[in-house]
Chain A
Amino acid sequence: MRLRNPKDFWAGVMFALIGFAFAYVVKHFEYPMGDSRRMGPGFFPYYLGLVLGALGVFICVKSFLSDGGPVSKFAWKPIFWILGAVIVFGLTVKHIGLALAIIVLVLLSSFGGHEFKLKEQLIAGVILAVGSVAVFVYGLKLPFPIWPAFIG
C-alpha cells in the first residue's frame, strides 16, 4: 500500500499513539476518575487522550483521500551534534564549570554546521565563555561554577 499523503499519515499516527498512550496510562495506573460532579485527576486527561487518539486515527484515514508531498529526509548530522552538544553541556557544566562547558558546547555544535573551522570556533567559544561569565555569573549572579571542580 502506498501512502498518498505521508506527512498527514504520520502526523495522524503520532497523534493517535500519544493520545491513546495518555488514556492507557490513566487506566493502567488507575488514576481516580471521580464523577461528573467531583472529577478525579484521571477524568480530563482520559477523555482528552481518547479524543486526540480518535482524531489521529481520523487524520490517518483521511490522508488516503488527498495527495501530499513526501516527508523530507531528516538531517541527522545537525540533530546529533546540536542536541548532543546541548545534553553534554547540561550534564557536565556542574563539574567542568561554565567557561569550559561553553567552549565544549560551541565546538561540538559546530560539527553540525556546513563547515568547521577549528581556530575560528575556538575564538568564538572563548569570547562567548568570557562574555557569559561576566554577564551571567558576575552580572546577574546566576549560580554557576566558573572553573572545573578539580581546579577550583
Chain B
Amino acid sequence: MESLIANLSLGLSVAFTPEALFYCLLGCLLGTLIGVLPGIGPVATIAMLLPATFTLKPELALIMLAGIYYGAQYGGSTTAILVNLPGESSSVVTALDGYQMARKGRAGAALGIAALGSFFAGTVATVLLAVAAPPLAQIAFKFGPAEYFSLMTLGLIAAVVLAHGSVIKAIGMILLGLLLGLVGTDVNSGMARFNFSIPELSDGIGFVAVAMGVFGFAEIIKNLEQGEEREIFVNKVKNLLPTKQDIKDAAPAVLRGTALGSLLGILPGGGAVLGSFSAYTLEKKIAKDASQFGKGDIRGVAAPESANNAAAQTSFIPLLTLGIPPNPVMALMVGAMIIQGIQPGPQVMTDKPGLFWGMIVSMWIGNLMLVILNLPLIGMWIKLLTVPYRLLYPAILVFCCIGVYSLSNSPFDVVVTAAFGMIGYIFIKLECEPAPLLLGFILGPMMEENLRRAMLLSRGDPMTFINRPLSATLLGIALLLLVIIMLPAIRKKREEAFVED
C-alpha cells in the first residue's frame, strides 16, 4: 500500500508537469475529435500520429497516444447518441438506446450519463491498473521463452474466440498476420526473407502501413460505397445533468459495465469493442423489465459506455506487464515504445518507473479532463458532425498520407499502405475480421523468436512446452478455449452476443 502511494506520487510528479498536462490534453482532444467523427478510429489516428511523436520525450508521446484511445471512447458516444451512427466501433451498442433517448428529447441525460459513467469506469480501471500491474510484472519476470510462446499462443486463440464472425476465418487471419509479420530480415541469421530483392522490404512491412491501410483507407472506401444519411439532434441538447431517478437507474449498470469492461480489457483480443457489446448483452439479460431496451433505456447507455472506457484502460495491463499487446491499438503502442527505444515488458516498470507511473496517473487526469471537456464543449463537437463526409474523408487522407510518408520519407510506405487499403477492402467484402491479422502481424516475429529460443534451450525437445508447469497451464487454457468455442451450444451463444437486433 505504501509503495503504491509512493509510486503514484512519483507518477503525479511526472504527469503533473505543464508539458505532460499539455500532451495529455492534446491526446484527449484528438481522441474526442476522432471519436466524434465517424469513419476514423483510434487505430488509424495513432498510426498516423506515430511519426509526429519521434521527437517527443517517451513519456509525453505515450501519454498523448494513450489519451487518444480513451478519449475516443468518450467522443464515440456523442455521435452514437445524437446521430445514431457509431463514432467508434465501441459505441455501436450505445446508439441503440442512446439515440432513442435523444429522439425523446433526453439527449442531454444520455450524454451526461455516458460521460459520468465513463469517468467512474476510468477511475476504477486506473486504480486496477496501478494495483494489478506490479504483481503481474513479478510473474512475468519468471517467464522464459517457452512461457512467452505459450502465452502468445493463448493470446492469439483468445483473440479468435473474442473476434466477431467466423472462428475459422479468424484463425486464418491470425496465421496470415503471423506470416506477413515474418517478412523481412531474420534476426537470428540475418537472412532477408520474402523480400523479393526489394531493398525496402528487408526491413519488413511497416505495421503502420498495414494498420492504416486496413483500418483507414479500406474504411473510407467502404463508407463511400454507402450513402450518407444523417439526422442530428443539435438543438435539443440541454439539461446535461441526469436526474436523480436517472442516476438511480443507471448506477448499477455503470458498476456492472465497469467490472465487465475491466475484465475483458485485460484479456488478449479484448478491448473496448468487446467490452461494450458484452455489457449491453449482460444488462439486457439480467434486467427485470427488459422491454425498454432499444427504446431508450438509460441502462443501455450507461453500461456499454462504462465498459468501453474501462476496457480501453485495462488493456494497458498486458502491454505494460508482459509486453504483449491484447488488441491492435496496444500493438501500435508497442510500436510507439520501440520507436522511443523502450522494449515493452515487465522491465519497463523497474527501469523506467517515472514513465510507467506517469502514464497511469495521466490516464486519471485525462479522464477528468474529458468529463470537463465533454460536457460544456458538447456544442462544439456537435458542430463538427455537421461537416459532410465529402469534406471529411479527403482531410483524413491528407493526415494519413503525411503520417505514412514521414515513416521513412520515401514513397514506398505510401504505396504499401495503398496496397493494404485494397487488401483490407477485400477482407471487408469476404467478412474477414482484420483485428486478429494485426495482432498476428505484431506477434509473428516475437513468437518465432521465442519458439527458437525455447527449442534451443531444450535441445530440440518440444516437450519443453508441456514439461514446464507455467507454460503447460497457458497452453491448457488455450486448448480449453478452443474446445469450448467449437461446442455447438457455445457457438450459438457467441453469435448471439455479437448480433444485436
User: Which residues of A are in contact with B by a Cβ distance under 8 Å?
Assistant: 7-8, 10-12, 14-15, 18-19, 22, 25, 31-32, 35-42, 44-45, 48-49, 51-52, 55-56, 58-59, 62, 71-72, 74-75, 78-79, 82-83, 85-87, 89-91, 93-94, 98, 102, 105-106, 109-110, 112-115, 117, 120-121, 124-125, 128, 132, 136, 140-144
- The reply to whether A36 and B175 form a contact with Cβ atoms under 8 Å apart is no
Distance of A124 Cα from B391 Cα, bound (Å): 7
- Which B-chain residue is minimally distant from A10 (CB atoms)? B430
Q: What is the CA–CA distance of A117 and B459 in the complex, to the nearest angstrom?
A: 68
Report how far A112 CA is from B451 CA in the complex, Å.
46
Enumerate chain A residues within 8 angstroms of B394, measured Cβ to Cβ.
105-106, 109-110, 121, 124-125, 128
Q: What is the minimal beta-carbon distance from B394 to any residue of chain A, in angstroms?
A: 4
Contact A48 B178 (CB under 8 A): yes
A55 touches B175 (CB 8 A): yes
User: In the bound complex, do residue B52 and residue A8 qualify as a contact, i.e. CB atoms below 8 Å apart?
Assistant: no
Q: Which residues of B contact A55 (CB under 8 A)?
A: 168, 171-172, 175
B421 touching A86, Cβ below 8 Å: yes
Residues in B lying within 8 Å of A, measured CB to CB: 51-52, 55, 166, 168-169, 171-172, 175-176, 178-179, 182, 186, 188-189, 191, 193-194, 217, 220-221, 224-225, 227-228, 389-391, 393-395, 397-402, 404-406, 409, 411-415, 417-418, 421-422, 425-426, 429-432, 447-448, 451-452, 455-456, 459-462
Q: Which residue of A lies closest to B194 (CB)?
A: A25
Which A-B residue pairs are the 10 nearest by beta carbons? A90-B414, A37-B460, A41-B186, A90-B411, A78-B224, A75-B225, A36-B460, A52-B175, A106-B394, A15-B172
For the complex, give the distance between the alpha carbons of A109 and B400 in Å.
13
* A79 pairs with B221, CB closer than 8 A: yes
Q: Tell me whether chain B's interface is mostly helix, strand or loop, or mixed.
A: helix
Given A52-B172, A120-B391, decide whether A8 and B221 contact each other with a Cβ distance below 8 A. no
Q: Decide if B225 touches A78 in the complex (CB within 8 Å).
A: yes
Query: In the complex, what distance in Å separates the CA atom of A76 from the CA atom of B90?
Result: 29
Which single residue of chain A is at the shortest CB-CB distance from B189?
Answer: A41
* B177 CB → nearest A CB, Å: 10
CA distance A85 to B447 in the complex (A): 37
Chain B nearest CB from A65 CB (Å) reads 12
Contact of A41 among B55, B191, B461 (CB under 8 A): B191
CA distance A117 to B456 in the complex (A): 63
- What are 24 A-B contacts defined by CB distance under 8 Å? A8-B166, A10-B430, A11-B432, A12-B172, A39-B451, A45-B182, A52-B179, A55-B171, A55-B175, A78-B221, A86-B414, A86-B421, A90-B412, A90-B413, A91-B411, A105-B401, A109-B393, A112-B221, A112-B224, A121-B391, A124-B395, A140-B52, A142-B52, A144-B402
